[in-house]
Structure formats: C-alpha cells, structure tokens
Structure 1
Amino acid sequence: MPTPRFPSSPLNTRLFVLLLVVACVGGLVGSTVGLMAAPSLREPFLGLIRQPMTSPTGITVQPPVMVKDRGIAEDEQTIGVVEKAAPAVVSIVMTKEFTREDFLGLHEDEMFAPFMDIPFDGPMRIGGGSGFFVSSDGLIVTNRHVVGDEEASYTVVTRDGTELPATVLARDPVLDLAVLDVEGTGYP
C-alpha cells in the first residue's frame, strides 16, 4: 500500500520557515539574556559554596585540597606493596616422567624426525606458574590449573633460586585455586 503524500502548498512552506526563524531568534535572545543575568545569579550561589561548612557539633569542614602529584604518591605506594610482597612470590614448576613409549607414532611422521634424537626417558619440565606463601610454615596458594595434573610432581622455586619439592594439598576447580605445602618453616 503506497504511503499517502500530502500536497505541499506555498502556505505550508512559508509557515514552516517562519516557525523555524522564530525559534532560532527566540533561542538567540534567550541565550543572550541568560548570559547577561547569570553573573548576578551566580555570585550568591558561589559565595555559599566557597564558605567552609560547619556541622551542628561545631566541626568545621574545609573544601578538599587538590593534589597535583597524586600519581607519583600512588606509584610509590604500589612500589612499596610490591617490594613487601615480592619475597613471598614463588615459581611453580611441573615435572612429569616420560618414556619413549609415550611418544610412539611420532617417529613415523617426518615432521617430528628432527626431535627423535632428544632423550625422552626421565622427568621433563612441562609447565609452570606462580603462587605465594600464605604462612611461614610453607603453605602456598596458586591457581588450580597450574597444578592440575595429578600425575605430575611439583617444585617450588623461591626468589633466591632455592628449589623445594611441593605436595598438592587441595584443588578447587570451581574457584581455580590450589594449596601446596613445602617442608620447612620461616618462609615469608
């Protein structure tokens, strides 16, 4: 069904142009009057804002002071927190025993031929992640996916390079958290 068209008459066009001109002129006049009147209306309001506020208990509240170098102070705080927490951060290395049988079939593929001279027997480091000490007696928290392989063994490497065998105490797949334990005491 075609949309009905209204005939355009010279009267409708003139009326539209007249309304448009009146609206523009009215907006210009209103803006000018508002700008001229604004200083007299604005000053009493700004005077109220600039005064210190007092509470019923007599405590005077001053307006906030602008700090220009806020970013530097925040950076220094962040650096301080990192320096304090860094000794507790550890690396976690996942090691797994492999035999040549684990790689059967690869030697038949030409793509893997250059790697067939690599010794496949024995422990291999296959993954890792990070964690942090949460107690001085050796409890470490990490992500579950870091220690997700139940057949692998895990080693914790401290900040000074000491390697400690770790035991996985708990894994939570929902929260993706895990708890490890290393022997000893006096950890950060």
Structure 2
Amino acid sequence: MNIYDQPQVNLKEIKEIINKFIKVLQNRVIWGVFLAIVVIIAMGFLVQAYFPKYFDSQIKSFLAPIENQLQKIKNENLAQKQELVQKQATFYVSPISYEQAIIDAVKQTSPSVVSIIISKNMPVYEQYFTDPFEEFDSPFFDFGPGFDIQIPQYKQKGTEKKEIGGGSGFIVSDDGLVLTNKHVVIDKDAEYTVLTNDGKKYIAKVLALDPVQDLAIVKITSQNGEKFPAIKLGDSAGIQIGQGAIAIGNALGEFRNTVSVGIVSGLSRTISAFGSSGFSEVLEDIIQTDAAINSGNSGGPLLNLKGEVIGVNTAMAQGANSIGFAIPINRAKKDIAQVIATNKITYPFLGVRYSLVNEQIKEKYKLSYDYGALVLKGEKGEVAITAGSSAEKAGLKENDLILEINSEKITQENSMSKIIQKYNPNDKINLKIFRDGKEIFIEVVLGERS
C-alpha cells in the first residue's frame, strides 16, 4: 500500500460487533444481575445514611467476642513471655559445660543431702561462793568489815538437753534410710535429729553401725507416709585420678548443704583417723580428694559430675589444706543391702591380731618372706588369737605367718582384712601359713562380726 493512500474501513466487521452488543443488551439475566447490584448499592447507601448508629452497633456486637478472644490470647502470650524472662533472670545458665554440670549435679542431689543434729542431756552447774576461813574461829582470820574472802564453787543442778555436735548424711531409699559416718552417730546416750534440705525435722533411729568401716545407717519416718528423695549411687570401681568431685555437707555443723568442688586426688589410701570423742580407726583403700571436707561434712556424699555418689566423706588431714578422704560407695552398698534384708551389718571374722610384713617387720623377726600377715600380740599385751574365734577353732597360733588366702597373696597393698571382706560369714577359706620353717595349709570357716 502507498503511504499516501487512505485506510480502508471494513463495514462488515463493524456491523457484526454492533449486532453482538445488541444481543447482550437484550439478555434478561445480565439485566437482572445489573439491577441487583444497583439495588444492593442503593440499600447500603440508605442504611448508612438513615441508620448509622444501628449499623455500627450491629457490627461492634458481632466483632466483640472475636476481639475479646484475641485479647485473651494476647494476654496469655504476654504472661508466658514475662514468665520465661523471669525464669531466665532467676536461674543462671552457664555457657561452660563443666560449670553447668556442677550446677545440675548439685541441684539434682541437694534434696537428698541431710544434716544430722546430735543432742544430749548435759549436766547443768550452779555457781555459789564460800568463805574458806569460815571453819576457823580465830581472830587471826578476821580481816575486818568489807574484807570477806569468797571463793567460787560449782555444783550440779540437774541436766539440760543441748546440741553437742552435727554431721551430714544422705537418703539412700525412699522409705527413709540415711547413710552417714559411724563416728557421727556412735554415742548411744545421744539423740539424733535429721534436718532435710526443705527445713523439715525427723527423729532418727540408729539401725546399724558398721563394725569395720566408718559407716552407719539411720532411719527416718514421715508422718503422712510421704516418700523421701533417694540419691543415685554411682560405681566407685571406675574412679580415675583427676576426675571431677563435688562434696556436699553440713559444714562446721552450721552451714547446711555447703558445696565444694575439686578432683579425685588419689586412690587406695590408708590412713589412721581420730575423732574428738576419742573415736579412732584405720581406714583402708579410700579416696583422696581436694574438694574441701570440713568438720560437719562427715557422712555427706562425694559426687561425680553426673550427680552420682562415688564416696562417703569421712575425714580431713589436720595441718594440711585440701586433703580430704572418702569411703568408696561400693563398700557402703553392701551395708545398705544387709540392713534392708536383716536390719544389721555383719562381716566375716577370722579372729587374729596381725601386722603386715614390711622391711622393718621382716628384719625384726628374721622372716624369710617380704609379704604376708604376722600374727602377734598387741603392744599392750592384747592376745594374738581371739578366744572362741574361727582362728582359734582352726588351730592358728601366735607367730604364724599367713601368706595367702585362697591363693591370693597378702601384701601391703592387698591387706588381709581387704581380702577377707570379699567373703561372707560361714564361708570356708584356705590359709597358706609359714610355721616352724615350713609351709602348711589350714581350712577355716569364717565367723561373724557385727
């Protein structure tokens, strides 16, 4: 097409479009829809123009329950957020796993750790004054007015119940069995009260004292039959030097549930322990720790970082810092089981007094062996063989050198008492003995000690 030509108009297409539009206008359905829309718009205009208050009130009444529910949900969410913020502000959460392990272990075990208060009727003394020269009727002792000499004297005036000491313990069963040290509850004339971490007091009954170890079990009973929070006992067989240790107890008999932290410093220690009441004993194969064990901590638990008991705090070294000792918990498990079954603690008993052979003993008694247990009298003349004991019945004699028990050699590290504790009363054992220049074997039936 030339650019100067005029555009052509297609009249036929225009007619077709007009005819379609006319057909649409003639459609009744479309007109019905159009009229309905017009009516609705008109009614809305009239209602809004002549009845605005009614319209608004209806909408508000319809929306009010929805708004109330939304506000309630909003308030609940706000309260939950505030509670969460408060908890986060109250409880410290450590970013250091070691520190958090200590916090968790203490929180887990503290409800099971108790203080033991020792009370006893003590004499009460009254002070009075006397003139020492009253019986002398002589002017020589008359010093004139205002010069009377009076000397204070004391006399007992009844008794008064007083707190005389304290220790620690921990609950090992939900019916109220409490494990502690023997030296804490050894006074038969004293009364014992257990104070729990929540401030409740219970009268404690001493059920059993371990005849060999510094352990004892007491019983507390609740008035309403409630269960006590028993602590979890660990396994002391797998303890390693350097692992973390936590000690909890009634420090100085005054500060309940005092926590100290350290490590296991040594294993298989043997010490001689002495108490203020004259109590003394030799403790073998015990744990050494640098977690502070103060006076009053006796009987409290030594924990690992999982919150499990691995030992019973027992003694501290006088004149030294950070040297404490605990009895391995596996040794106490046997006591607990026996008390539950029989209400007493028993040990196998041989009935000999002995000294473990070392270089000094070997040289002094001209022995051919550098190990074993030499049967001897005590320094104050105590008999070497206990009358009526299993040793006497089996024919053991003073100066016998016991070398082995059931083929297990007796040494400084593996003492005779440690070996015998592996057995039970009435068990038969075979002793290898050196007597009069030759080795002999003697069978012994172990007795019972309680």
**TM-score (norm: length of structure 1):** 0.51
Task: Give the letter for the 1:125 counterpart.
Answer: E
Residues 1-188 of structure 1 aligned to structure 2 (within 5 Å)? 72-100=96-124, 121-184=159-222, 185-188=226-229
Residues 40-99 of structure 1 deviation map (CA, whole Å, 9 limit, x = unaligned): xxxxxxxxxxxxxxxxxxxxxxxxxxxxxxx92122112111110000000000001123
Task: Give the letter for the 2:199 counterpart.
Answer: G
Task: Give the letter for the 1:175 counterpart.
Answer: Q
> How far apart, in 2, do the equivalents of 1:169 and 1:154 lie?
12
> How far apart, in 1, do the equivalents of 2:205 and 2:101 lie?
35
Residues 121-175 of structure 1 deviation map (CA, whole Å, 9 limit, x = unaligned): 2211001101010011110001111111111010000111111100000111532
1:36 aligns with: none
The runs of 4+ residues in structure 1 deviating greater than 6 Å are none
Greater relative contact order, per chain length (Cα 8 Å cut-off, separation 6+): 1
> How far apart, in 2, do the equivalents of 1:120 and 1:147 lie?
25
2:244 aligns with: none
More strand by share: 2
How far did 1:187 drift? Answer: 0.7
More helix by share: 1
How far did 1:183 drift? Answer: 1.0
How far did 1:104 drift? Answer: 9.3
Task: Give the letter for the 1:92 counterpart.
Answer: I
- For structure 2, which runs of at least 5 residues remain unmatched after alignment? 1-94, 131-151, 230-450
- For structure 1, which runs of at least 5 residues remain unmatched after alignment? 1-70
> How far apart, in 2, do the equivalents of 1:89 and 1:171 lie?
20
Task: Give the letter for the 1:96 counterpart.
Answer: K
Secondary structure, aligned partner of 2:204: strand
Secondary structure, aligned partner of 1:87: helix
Secondary structure, aligned partner of 1:174: coil
> How far apart, in 2, do the equivalents of 1:156 and 1:176 lie?
19
Task: Give the letter for the 1:93 counterpart.
Answer: I
> How far apart, in 2, do the equivalents of 1:76 and 1:175 lie?
34
Task: Give the letter for the 2:164 counterpart.
Answer: I
Task: Give the letter for the 1:95 counterpart.
Answer: S
> How far apart, in 2, do the equivalents of 1:156 and 1:120 lie?
27
Identity value in percent: 42
Secondary structure, aligned partner of 1:99: strand
Q: 1:97 to 1:79 in 2, by over 3 A?
A: same
Between Structure 1 and Structure 2, whose CA radius of gyration is higher?
A: 2
2:237 aligns with: none
1:49 aligns with: none
Task: Give the letter for the 1:176 counterpart.
Answer: D
Secondary structure, aligned partner of 1:95: strand
> How far apart, in 2, do the equivalents of 1:104 and 1:147 lie?
30
> How far apart, in 1, do the equivalents of 2:118 and 2:96 lie?
39
Q: 1:187 to 1:97 in 2, by over 3 A?
A: same
Task: Give the letter for the 1:186 counterpart.
Answer: K
**TM-score (norm: length of structure 2):** 0.22
